[in-house]
């Protein structure tokens, strides 16, 4: 591996993973060459809001198994605590509370610990802290250093990671410079890059961080995470936009996965190919290989489904796939080749319908539970394309009001009503699958076809 640290940080907002999913992810990332897993789910109250309280015995027993699995898999299992919403940086009681909590995990075999100051107000709020410290950076460095000092007396080969309050955009901020200057030199500092969820991380960003802080950034890479307003997105596209030179100018990269652990394997597996050989990495090739490795005989169907779920911070625009289909259809239609135009829609709709149903019937149940909303929307859009073909094939009867064609027109009208009902049901959909091009097309097709009923031939009005 070209990178010193390669990891996964379970650091998203939302329901934390079940422990058995963590076990599976640790085994998986070990097979992929990762060497670190950080437990830090934001909505675990004992991680963030009730951080002073110890974890219950049942949780600790389960975590001990994680540590054991990590040792077997070559993955250091670590734990982070986020005390910043309520901590007093000058309090001996708070210092003892967090150290004792870390030591409870050290007894399980944990040797890497994280102290996360992210997503908190960027100012001191405790009155004692305000009197003792001039800046937030000074207070945070002081507290972290005291924690490290205490842990070093009990933990052999201690590794310590700090996530700063300012963790992206400007590595030359006075806060970050002071924190780095005053923090224990062996502690790693996390950094997400130019943005919270960075579309690209150029080597210039890493070099600017190193020049400003005197140490290499440990990148907290917010991909494929889909929390907050990204929840409707399924981030299963290629891992892109990371400079291969980060291998020389960073302490490593840890990826923040999705709320869906099984679906996260697509991005984690793809990223592993970048980490193993960043200079020769080809995103689309690595992505296709990962899908093949994960899904075998289902890989073609899953890859096509994934093409409709590319939108993410790394791929901000909607997927190109539906746009390409519609452009091909329109080009054939405008050139008067109706048969070719209908074949394009027919093939795409059938691929979506049959492929989606095949995935629903054959994918692992755990993955189905995670992605079924997207799969069901995918299947529905396939059906709508097929029904659009049916409308296009039969709507010429509207211009010939013979008795026979009038009956066909009545059937067409029923089809239109069914399509519009389905279209309305899809309008408030909960997923952000890239099908707006289909929505616009089917909606316009229905409107234009209905217009003939209500404007061209009044005898067919209801």
Place of tokens 């934390």: 16
Whole-angstrom distance, CA of residue 15 vs CA of residue 227? 10
Chain centroid to Cα 190, Å, comes to 19
Measured CA to CA in angstroms, residue 209 lies from 30, 191, 224, 424 at distances of 29, 9, 23, 50
Sort 29 into a burial class: Cβ within 10 Å, 0-12 / 13-18 / 19+: buried
For the chain, the C-alpha Rg in angstroms (whole number) is 27
Torsion angles phi and psi, residue 179, rounded to 5 = -60, -45
Which listed residue (43, 44, 118, 119) is catalytic?
A: 119
Say whether 119 is catalytic.
Answer: yes
User: Would strands 159-163 and 112-116 be described as parallel, antiparallel, or unpaired?
Assistant: parallel
DSSP assignment of 107-149 equals: TTT--EEEEE--SS-SS---HHHHHH-SSHHHHHHHHHHHHHH
- Beta strand residue intervals within 143-268, DSSP E: 159-163, 188-191, 217-221, 250-255
Chain-centroid distance of CA 119 in Å reads 18
- CA 23 to CA 139: how far, in whole Å? 36
Cβ-count burial of 352 within 10 angstroms (0-12 exposed, 13-18 middle, 19+ buried)?
buried
Kindly list the distances between the CA atom of residue 428 and the CA atoms of 369, 411, 424, 431, in Å, as whole numbers in the listed order. Answer: 21, 27, 8, 9
Residues in the chain: 462
Catalytic residues: 119
């Amino acid at each position: 591996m070209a990178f010193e640290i390669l990891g996964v940080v379970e650091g998203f907002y939302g329901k934390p993973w079940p422990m058995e999913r963590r076990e599976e992810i640790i085994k998986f990332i070990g097979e992929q060459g990762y060497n670190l897993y950080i437990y830090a789910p934001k909505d675990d109250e004992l991680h963030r809001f009730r951080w002073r309280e110890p974890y219950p015995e049942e949780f600790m027993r389960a975590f001990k198994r994680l540590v054991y699995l990590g040792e077997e898999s070559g993955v250091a299992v670590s734990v982070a605590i986020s005390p910043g919403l309520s901590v007093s940086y000058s309090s001996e009681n708070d210092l003892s509370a967090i150290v004792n909590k870390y030591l409870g995990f050290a007894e399980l075999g944990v040797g890497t610990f994280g102290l996360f100051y992210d997503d908190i107000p960027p100012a001191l709020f405790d009155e004692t802290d305000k009197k003792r410290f001039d800046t937030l950076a000074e207070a945070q460095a002081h507290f972290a250093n005291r924690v490290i000092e205490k842990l070093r007396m009990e933990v052999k080969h201690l590794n310590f990671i700090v996530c700063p309050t300012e963790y992206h955009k400007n590595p030359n901020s006075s806060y970050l410079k002071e924190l780095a200057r005053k923090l224990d030199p062996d502690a790693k500092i996390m950094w997400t890059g130019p943005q919270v969820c960075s579309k690209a991380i150029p080597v210039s960003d890493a070099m600017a961080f190193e020049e400003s802080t005197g140490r290499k950034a440990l990148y907290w890479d917010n991909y494929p995470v889909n929390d907050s307003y990204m929840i409707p997105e399924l981030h299963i596209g290629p891992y892109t936009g990371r400079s291969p030179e980060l291998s020389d100018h960073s302490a490593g990269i840890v990826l923040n996965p999705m709320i869906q652990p099984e679906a996260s394997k697509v991005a984690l597996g793809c990223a592993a190919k970048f980490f193993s050989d960043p200079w020769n990495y080809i995103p689309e090739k690595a992505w296709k290989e990962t899908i093949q490795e994960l899904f075998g005989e289902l890989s073609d169907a899953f890859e096509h489904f994934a093409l409709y779920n590319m939108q993410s911070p790394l791929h901000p625009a909607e997927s190109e796939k539906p746009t390409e289909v519609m452009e091909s259809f329109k080009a054939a239609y405008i050139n008067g080749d109706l048969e070719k135009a209908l074949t394009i829609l027919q093939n795409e709709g059938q691929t979506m319908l049959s492929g989606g149903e095949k995935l629903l019937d054959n994918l692992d149940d755990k993955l189905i539970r995670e992605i079924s909303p997207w799969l069901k929307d995918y299947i529905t859009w396939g059906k709508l394309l097929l029904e659009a073909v049916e409308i296009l094939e039969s709507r010429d009867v509207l211009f010939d009001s013979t008795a026979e064609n009038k009956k066909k027109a009545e059937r067409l009208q029923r089809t239109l009503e069914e399509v519009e009902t389905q279209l309305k049901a899809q309008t408030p959909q909960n997923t952000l699958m890239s099908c707006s091009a289909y929505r616009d097309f089917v909606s316009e097709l229905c409107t234009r076809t209905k217009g003939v009923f209500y404007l061209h031939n009044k005898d067919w009005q209801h």
